[in-house]
Every structure is written in C-alpha cells, then in structure tokens.
Chain A
Amino acid sequence: MTLHLLLTDILVWVLVLLFVLLGWRMGRSVQIRRTWHRIFRSKVAMASAVILLFYILFALLDSVHFRVDNANEKNALREGEIVSLLDLGMLHRKHYSERTYSAPFALREYTKSTVVDEQGRARQRYLPLCYVKDGDYIRQSVLGAGLGLLIALGFILVHWVWRRKREEETVLPWLSAYITFALLFMLFGCMYVMSFSYHVLGTDKVGGDVLYASLKSIRTGVLIGTLTTLVTLPLAVVLGVSAGYFRGWVDDVIQYLYTTLSSIPGVLLIAAGVLTMQVVMDQYADWFASTLERSDLRLLFLIVILGVTSWTSLCRMVRAETLRIAKMDYVTAARAFGVGKMRIMLRHIVPNLMHIILISVALDFSGLVLAEAVLSYVGVGVDPTMYSWGNMINQARLEMAREPMVWWSLFASFIFMFILVLAANLFSDRVQHVLDPRNVS
C-alpha cells in the first residue's frame, strides 16, 4: 500500500498544521493562554471539547488514504482501491455487505423474500444474514466497554503524570474531561467489538452497514464545518479590515460587493454554483481516476462555494469592529509615531478582532454541519455516492414511509449529528460568553 492523499486530505492536514502553529504562537502570550483557561474552566466546555476532539479524530483517521497496490484475498481489498485508515479498521464492515435491510443486531433480514424450497414451492421467508455471528451480547459488550475503558485509562494516566510533572496549578475541570473521554472510549469499544459479530446499527437498502456509514459521514460533516472557514476567514478579514480602515472608495466597493452577494438567496447561490460545477465536472470526466476522487473534488468545490457565499456576515462585523478600533487612542498613538498602515492593521487591528473571528468560527461550524444535510437533500450537497448524514437522511425519508418502518438509518444519522452539533453549540456558547466584551463585567 502506498500513501495516496486526496485533495481534501491535504487541506485538512494543512489546517491541522495551521492550528498547531497558531496554537504554538498564541500559547506564548500569557493573555491568550488565560482566555483559553477561562473558556475551559467550564465543565460543559471541557466535555464538549473532548467530544469534538473525538469526532475530529475520526475525521483525521478518515483523511489518511492509501492506494492498495496488490489485491489481498484475506482482506478483500481490490487492487487500485483507495482506502483510509478508518476503512482499514472497519474492513470487516466495509466490504462484506448484506443483501438488503436488516434491523440492529438482527440475525435475519428485515423483510421476507421469496425463496424456492426443496419441494419447488415458492415461499415467503426471512433469509438469514450472511455476515453475522450469534454470540453473547452481554459478554461482548462488557468486553468491548472494558477494553475501551482500559485504553482510555491508559491515556488519562499518561496525561495525569504529565500534568503532575509540569506541576501546573490549574483550576481546569480535568475530571469532567476524563469522564467524557472514558465514556466515549467505552461506548466506541463496545460498538466496535460487537460490530465484528453484528450489524450494530442495522443495514441499509443495499445491505451496507449503517454504523460504518455513520462513521464515514463524520469526515464529511467535520470537513465542511472546518475547511469552509479556511475560505471565509481570509476573505472576510482582509476585506472587512480594509473596508473599515481605508474607508472611502475601498469601503464603498467592498460594501457593494457584500450587499450584492448577500442579497442573492443563499441556497440559490449555492445551487447555482454547484450546478455550474457539475457541468464543468461532467465536461472533464476524464480528470478523475475514481469515483472517490470525483466525489472528493465535488466536496472541495462545495466547500469553496459555501465559503464564497458565506463570508459576508463576518465581513460586515469585522468592518464595524475595525471602524470602532480605528478610532481608539492606541491606533491614533501608533499613527502619531508614523507607524505604517499595514503594520497598524496587522499589529493593532487584527489581534483585537480575534474575539469576533473565533466566535464566528465556533458559531459557523454547527451551522455548516446542519447546512450540509439540507443541501444534500435539495440535491446540491455532496456527491450522492459519498457517505454523509445528509444523504443518509435523504434515504431515510423514503424508508420511513415503508411499512414496517426502517428507522435505524435515520436514528443513526440523528444521533451522530445531534451529538456533534450539540457539543459544537455548547462549546461555541462558552467561547462567546468568555470572549464577548459585553460579558466581562
């Protein structure tokens, strides 16, 4: 196997690198460290951050792709296939799919099929599933949870020792972080161990494992939520700061630009963008070696389109705040020292905008995850072949109309999305509470 990074993979790792660099740079400032301390002093924030990190971990595991060089019978990997680290861990559910729907933990299919028995008569029967083993539920779940707990405790111990060594006097509620961490590991351990014997969350129409689909959807959601900011931030900050600082015609042009963009209904603008992109991609179909790369490029375009259409509100806020900061005496003082405009913007204005930017990034994340679902429903979201919660819900809509109902796809996507968005909302609430200057007193 050789490393084969997709375009979005590269961007994700660039983003990770940027975050690490930024964190390292900002970590040197006592003031910023103190702000983060204040954010994490809340137990809820600590727990949500752990959950968010857990999701991000899955997204990152799913963002290291390999190309299979030679087929391997045992693992059912085909040559030329591109798989991620997550796939490698879930191979037992990636390739061995059933025929059709089956309920969670079921041993046979959900609906009867017509089979011809030995006597040659056609009969309606529930067919058994091919890739499940009946076993001891309790033993397996305890085993899985125990394994998860053990691994979690290992990490926690390392972290605790490290903290002791640094002798850092912190008031942070590490305990709630540890508990969340251990619970997540136990839950996942439990599901993972059982996934070898059962379809823990059932199977979908074509017999695909729903747990696997839900886990694969994490990457899509997290990428849309994070990478989009990579597009919006530079646009919004550069344009907003220039409009607010230079005023005059620069301001007029930028204001015109964002008023025009924001006057077009968002979904329609995105739809128009996506339709355009589809046409272009259809014309150059030979660009893509595989459907995976094709859907990946579509994801990337979607992210760019989302970014280009959603920078306006942040830009407006940045402009207003820049106007305010530019009137501050410390900016006047810098001007009296003959400090250049560029330098004033970089040293005095942008650092003092950080709270707005952070709040907006935190707020946008959950909005974008939710938007993906709606856009995929409308048909202008990610590629229909891509694993995403939006596509799962889209499918589920028809499944709910069936008799009896097929509820588990909807349930799985609901739970996975809800936990992520809730954690993101709670965390961004805390960020906003701490950073908003109006809450200082």
Chain B
Amino acid sequence: MNRLLHVNGLRLETAGKTVLHDVSFTIGRGEIFALVGESGSGKSLTSLAIMRLLPQAVRVTGGEIVLEDVPLFRLTEAQMQKVRGKRISMIFQEPMSALNPVMTIGEQVAEALRLHFDLEESEVRRRVVALFEEVALPNASARYSWYPHQLSGGQKQRVMIAMALACEPDLLIADEPTTALDVTVQAQVLELLKKICQNRELSILFITHDLTVVSQMADRIAVMKEGHIVETADTAHFFSAPSHPYTQRLLRDALGITPKPKEHRDETLLEVEDLKVHFRVKKGLFKRATESVKAVDGVSLKIARGTTLALVGESGSGKSTLAQAILSLVPVTKGHIHYRGHDITRLSEKERKPYRQKMQVIFQDPFSALDPRMRIGEIIKEGMESLEAGPRNKAQQRACIETLLQRVELDPSYIDRYPHELSGGQRQRIGIARALAVDPELIICDEPTSALDVSVRAQILALLKRLQQETGVSYLFITHDLSIVPAIADSVAVMQAGRVVEAGETERVLLSPTHPYTRTLLAAAPKLPIFHTKEKP
C-alpha cells in the first residue's frame, strides 16, 4: 500500500495535562481510515493537529506528522497555508456554522480555488459549478450566488465537501460530517463521500463516534480512548473479532442489546385523537394576515399501561411539538387527548394539576434540562413540592430523594451537588429521577439518548427498561434513531410532516413496513454487520 500520511508518536498537552499519548497511525492512498471514539477521546484534536489548526492553549509536545515525505511540523506557517486546502482539506460536523453566513456559497468555494491556482475568472466559475454538480447539488449553476441560509443542512454539507475537493487534495479529513444530519440525509452524504473517494483516489480520515457509520464506510479503523489508540484493524476483522476489551464493550453497546420482551396490555392509558397544533405566523403590512404552520396535523395515538410507544421521525416532523401538546405546554388547535378516559385537552391549570403528576417528561439535552443554579436535591424536590407528591417532612423528603438517586444508580451524596459537576449521562439520570419523584404513570422521553455517547446511551436505555419493569410506567419514547427502537419499544409510530404515516407493533413495522417513508428511513439507517444478521428471522 502506498503511504500518504503518517502520524508518529503524536503527543499533545494542554494546561500541563497530556491529552494525546503517542498516537501513531498511517493512512494509505485511496483509503478510508476511520478514527472512532467517544467524546473527549482526542480524535478531533488529532485531526486539528494534522491541519496545524490546534487551539492556542494546546501544545504539541512530541511526535511528527509526515505527508508523503514532508514533515508538517517543520513547515513555516506560510508553507503550511499551501498545504491546507490544497493537499489536505477538511469538513466539519456543523454545516450550519461552518460556512460564512454573509458570503455566497459559490464565492466561498471560489476563494479556495483562487488561493491555490492561478485561474481566469470564467474558469473559476466553471470549476465551482462542476464541483457543485459532482456533489450532486441540484441546479448547480444557479446555486452559485445563493447564501448558506437558503440551503438545507445536507446541501450545506455538500457545499463543504465541494469546497474541500476544490483544489484536488490528497487527503480529506471528515470530522463527524454526518452527526448533525437526519438519517436519510446522512445516508446520501455518506454515499457521496464513498463515491468521490473511489472516483478521485482520495484518502479520507473519517472521524466519528458512530460505529454503524464506520462499518459502512471505512477500510481500516482505529479506536481512541482517552488520548490513546487502543486498537487498529481492518474493518472486517474489527467487527468479527475485536481484541481490546474497550472495543468489545463499545461494539456490544452499539448493538442495541436484546430486543424488548413483548408486553401486551389492553388498558389504554393515553389516547390522542386527531390532534392538531398549528402555530400562527403574522404576515403582511399590519401583521394582521396570519398563516399557520401545521406542526402537528391530525395525529392519533394510543399507549397502553406499562408499554412503550416509540415515536420516530426526522427533525421538523412535529414529534417534539406533539409531546409538548400532550403535556399541555403548547395550546392545542384541534382534537382531543384522553387520559384514562378523561378528556384532558382543555383544562384550567388547577384542574390539570393531578394529571401533571401522572405525566412527566425527560429531555434531550442534559445540559439545559437542569437549572444550573440549583442543587440536585432542590431540582428533584421542585416537582414533589409543586404537585404535593411524596413526604412533606423535610428529613423524609431528603431520604426519599436519596432513594431516588440510588434507583437511578447514582450515589446519594450527589444530593448537594450542582449540575455542572456531573457528566452528561449522570445529568440524564437526574432528569429521570426528577420525573420519577412524583410517581408518574407515563413518562415522555424526548430523545433522551441522542446527545449521549454510545456506551452511556446503552446504560440509560437499560435503566429506563429496568424502571419500567419495576414500576409499570409507560413511555412515549421520541427518537430519530431507528436502531434503538427494538430495544425499547412495544409499538412504533412513524411521523412525517406533522402526521403519523405508519403505526403498529415494533416487529411488524420494522420488518415489513408498508409506507414508503418508513422504508426510506429503514434503508437509510446504518446498521452494524452483526446486528443485521441477528435481526433477520
């Protein structure tokens, strides 16, 4: 194999702490090399070190990076600028913020071309349009003078790729390029990258936390943990026989564990009937004329006691709005919500209080879900006090909260800590404990695992399942990630543009989907090779 990039014993330090320990790997020509790790493992720092774009606080204390036979650390800054964009280029995770918002996308690509080649203006434009066509941006020549905000997330990422390819680099560093995208878009972008790699004989350093993506993309894989590379292997070998215990655990966690045993109960807890939530947008000269955005447009659902309904959909499909409507946090435009047969759609805040206790919620972002100014104990106590649930006596209350913390597998001493002292997974457990504190019958979980690392995700899912077995609580589990559905849900509803397009038992929907959108979603969802074989009946 023809060697393109060689990283040898790279060591990075920040504030006296070593964050990267002797990292070494080699990328061959035309190869897709994946660097896999959880957040904070040092994979992004490695990529920035290759580009020599490390933040000022981070210092290189050892090792070298050689591109073909050029040692990058020995170049002057001016020489390095000729390497960036020309020989190594990079695409980033957030297409929303990675493009300059006040420059047309054509100009942004053209800027790179002008910088590295001496071209005529017409030739620059021709090449930009050609690049846009190569990354399958529709209507390429008209898009030249568009601004980033006029494009969708996937299209922006295509522009980023076009920009990165503009100067025909030898190496493309893709730092979590699809993490911020919807599943169907992710599949398209990955497909595109793979095709380009083959057509151009480009090498790609693919950085991701997602093993399923890796299994589809990479030729070789390196796993990083806390600044070390713990294992490097060919993809096929990696998935069939991982050698390092961390890798084995990572794989196991990513697999989605065992499917949930079926629960069959007839007692309906919550029934949503033709629910509509429309938001008005004011328009016109006097802002009188209104136009409505139909966030939820006629949804009917049923959740039985002690079961889990997974609500699957891509961003903007209205699944979170539906959750808020059920919790009566946004006004309902039309339709009904029944709880144990009682219509709770339009109640006064006072009449609603008993139902508030029955229905609770867990959020996606563990960082904004907890008030940073309150101690954990106060956070959990707030609901108990407001809904007058649990013991009244101070000492008993404290004991009760400590028990709750133990139930979500946290140390009771956390009661006096502040949220910022905890990790993302721990915060998510606090969120669960807060919901459990008032003894609810239904918990709405709004993407509770999508902001978490794979291993933490598996733990939280296991915890949710255990709690369901113990307490018989029902879940409305909102997610965009089909791969975790079999592990948690008894039934599934698929949402698209404010409507439920398909609903039914998990097995039925996942194995023999009837609606074309469900099929697209299933086809787009990346799967691990093993998962694939196991799931087939």
Question: Which residues of chain A have a CB within 8 Å of any CB of chain B?
Answer: 29-31, 328-330, 332-340, 343, 347-348, 351-352, 354
- Are B356 and A337 touching (Cβ within 8 A)? yes
Separation of A30 and B365 alpha carbons in the complex (Å): 25
How many angstroms from the CA of A31 to the CA of B375 in the assembled complex? 9
Given A336, A343, A351, A352, which contacts B329 in the complex, CB threshold below 8 Å?
A336
B369 with A336: CB separation less than 8 A: no
- A340-B385 Cα distance, complex, nearest whole Å: 12
CB within 8 Å for A351 and B418 given contacts A328-B368, A336-B360, A336-B361: no
Check: B466 CB closer than 8 A to any chain A CB. Answer: no
The 9 closest A-B pairs by CB, nearest first: A337-B383, A329-B363, A329-B369, A338-B356, A351-B373, A330-B371, A339-B386, A337-B386, A329-B368
15 additional contacts (CB under 8 A) given A31-B373, A329-B369, A337-B438: A30-B418, A31-B372, A330-B369, A330-B371, A336-B329, A336-B359, A336-B361, A337-B383, A338-B353, A338-B387, A347-B382, A351-B373, A352-B372, A352-B373, A354-B373
Contact B363 A333 (CB under 8 A): yes
Known: A30-B418, A338-B349. A332 touches B356 (CB 8 A): no
In the complex, 22 of the A-B residue pairs with CB atoms within 8 angstroms, ordered by the A residue number, are: A29-B373, A328-B368, A329-B364, A329-B368, A332-B324, A332-B361, A333-B361, A333-B363, A333-B383, A333-B431, A336-B359, A336-B361, A337-B386, A338-B353, A338-B386, A339-B386, A340-B386, A343-B386, A347-B374, A348-B371, A348-B373, A351-B373
- Is B352 engaged at the interface, CB distance under 8 Å to the other chain? yes
| A400 CA to B379 CA, complexed, in Å | 64
Whether A330 contacts B387 by the Cβ 8 Å rule is no
User: Counting CB contacts under 8 A, is B434 at the interface?
Assistant: yes
A333–B360 Cα gap in the complex (Å)?
A: 8
**B:386-442 near A, CB below 8 Å:** 386-387, 418, 431, 434, 438
CB-CB nearest in chain A for B438: A337
- Which chain B residues border A354 with CB–CB below 8 Å? 373
Alpha-carbon gap, A348 to B382, bound state (A): 11
Q: Mark B89-117, 1 if CB is under 8 A from A, else 0.
A: 00000000000000000000000000000
B326 to chain A, nearest CB (A): 10
Q: Determine the distance from Cα of A332 to Cα of B356 in the docked complex, in whole angstroms.
A: 12
**A336 and B365 in contact, given A30-B418, A330-B371, A351-B373 (Cβ under 8 angstroms):** no
Q: Which residues of B contact A336 (CB under 8 A)?
A: 327, 329, 356, 359-361
Instruction: Find the residue from B356, B360, B368 having the highest chain A CB count within 10 A.
Output: B368
Report A196 CB to chain B, min CB distance, Å: 53
Residues 288-307 of B, flagged 1 when their CB comes within 8 A of A and 0 if not, give: 00000000000000000000
A359 to B299 alpha-carbon distance, docked (Å):
47
Chain A interface main SS type: helix
Give the complex CA separation of A333 and B443 in angstroms. 12
Considering residues B370, B371, B379, which has the most beta carbons from chain A within 10 angstroms of its beta carbon?
Answer: B371
Interfacial chain A residues near B387, Cβ < 8 Å: 337-338
- Look across to chain A and name the residue whose beta carbon is closest to the beta carbon of B350: A338
Point out the residues of chain A lying under 8 angstroms from B369, CB to CB.
Answer: 329-330, 333
Are A330 and B361 in contact (CB-based, < 8 A)?
A: no
Q: How many Å lie between the Cα of A354 and that of B373 in the bound state?
A: 10
Write the nearest CB–CB distance from B57 to chain A, whole angstroms: 10
Cα-based distance from A334 to B327 in the complex (angstroms): 12
In the complex, the answer to whether B329 meets A338 with C-beta atoms within 8 Å is no
A348 to chain B, nearest CB (A): 5
CA of A338 to CA of B385 in the docked complex: distance in angstroms? 10
B308 → chain A closest CB, angstroms: 19
User: Which size class do B's interface residues fall under?
Assistant: 20 to 34
A348 to B368, CA, bound (A): 12
Residues of the B chain whose Cβ atoms lie less than 8 Å from the Cβ of A335: 329
A332: B residues at CB distance < 8 A: 324, 329, 361, 363
Cα distance A337–B363 in the bound complex, in angstroms: 14
Could you tell me the distance in whole angstroms from the C-beta of B205 to the nearest C-beta in chain A? 25
Contacting pair A333 B434 (CB below 8 A):
yes
Known A-B contacts A329-B369, A330-B370, A333-B369; the reply to A339 vs B382 at CB < 8 A is yes
Closest CB-CB distance, A346 to chain B, in whole Å? 12
**A352 and B371 contact, CB distance less than 8 A:** yes
Q: Which residue of A lies closest to B446 (CB)?
A: A329
Complex interface: chain A residues within 8 A of B386 (CB): 334, 337-340, 343
Chain A residues within an 8 Å CB radius of B431: 333
Contact yes or no, B418 A329, CB < 8 A: no
A270 CB → nearest B CB, Å: 35
Which A residues are CB-close (under 8 A) to B373?
Answer: 29, 31, 348, 351-352, 354
Q: Which one of A329, A340, A352 has the highest number of Cβ atoms from chain B below 10 Å of its Cβ?
A: A329
Nearest-neighbor residue (CB-CB) of A349 within chain B = B371
In B325-381, which residues have CB < 8 Å from any A CB? 327, 329, 349, 352-353, 356, 359-361, 363-365, 368-374, 379
Chain B residues, CB < 8 A from A29 = 373
A253 to B434, CA, bound (A): 37
Residues of A within 8 Å of B372, CB to CB, are 31, 352
Closest chain B residue to A332, Cβ basis: B329
Residues of A close to B364: CB separation below 8 A = 329
A391→B73 CA distance, assembly (Å): 63
Cα distance A351–B371 in the bound complex, in angstroms: 10
B363: A residues at CB distance < 8 A: 329, 332-333
The CA-CA distance from A333 to B365 in the complex, in Å, is 12
Interface string of B65-109 (1 = CB under 8 A from A): 000000000000000000000000000000000000000000000
Inter-chain contact B434/A329, CB cutoff 8 Å: no
State in angstroms the CA–CA spacing of A332 and B321 once bound together: 12
- Please report the C-alpha to C-alpha distance between residue A335 and residue B329 in the assembled complex, in whole angstroms: 7
| Cα–Cα, bound, A80→B386 (Å) | 59
**A330 CB, min distance to chain B CBs, angstroms:** 4
Distance of B319 from chain A, by nearest CB (Å): 15
Q: What is the distance, in angstroms, from B190's C-beta to the closest C-beta of chain A?
A: 30
Contacts of A333 in B (CB 8 A): 361, 363, 369, 383, 431, 434
A333, A334, A354 — most chain B CB neighbours (10 Å): A333
Shortest Cβ distance from A334 into B: residue: B382
Most buried by A among B327, B372, B386, B418: B386
- Complexed CA–CA distance, A94 and B473 (Å): 80
Note all chain A residues with C-beta closer than 8 A to B352.
Answer: 338
Q: Across the interface, which residues of A come within 8 angstroms of B371, CB to CB?
A: 330, 347-348, 351-352
Nearest CB to that of A341 among chain B residues?
B349
Q: In the docked arrangement, what's the CA distance between A352 and B418, Å?
A: 14
Contacts of B353 in A (CB 8 A): 338
Minimal beta-carbon separation of A2 from chain B (angstroms):
46
Tell me the bound Cα distance from A335 to B434 in angstroms: 13
> Given the complex, which residues of A lie within 8 Å of B382, measured CB to CB?
334, 337, 339, 347
* Pair A31/B418 contact, Cβ less than 8 Å: yes
Contacts of B356 in A (CB 8 A): 336-338
**In the complex, chain B residues whose CB is within 8 Å of the CB of A328:** 368
Contacts of A351 in B (CB 8 A): 371, 373
Q: Which residues of A contact B370 (CB under 8 A)?
A: 330
Which residue in A329, A343, A348 is a CB contact (below 8 Å) of B365?
A329
A348 proximity list for chain B (CB < 8 A): 371, 373
In the complex, what residues of A have CB within 8 A of residue B379's CB?
A: 330
Question: Given the complex of chains A and B, what is the CA–CA distance between A330 and B382 in angstroms?
Answer: 11
A436 CB to nearest B CB, Å: 15
Chain B residues whose C-beta falls within 8 Å of the C-beta of A339 in the assembled complex: 382-383, 386
A388, B486: Cα distance in complex, Å: 76
B506 to A: closest C-beta gap in Å? 27
A332 to B372, CA, bound (A): 14
Cβ–Cβ < 8 Å partners of A352 in chain B: 371-373
> Which chain A residue shows the least CB distance to B365?
A329
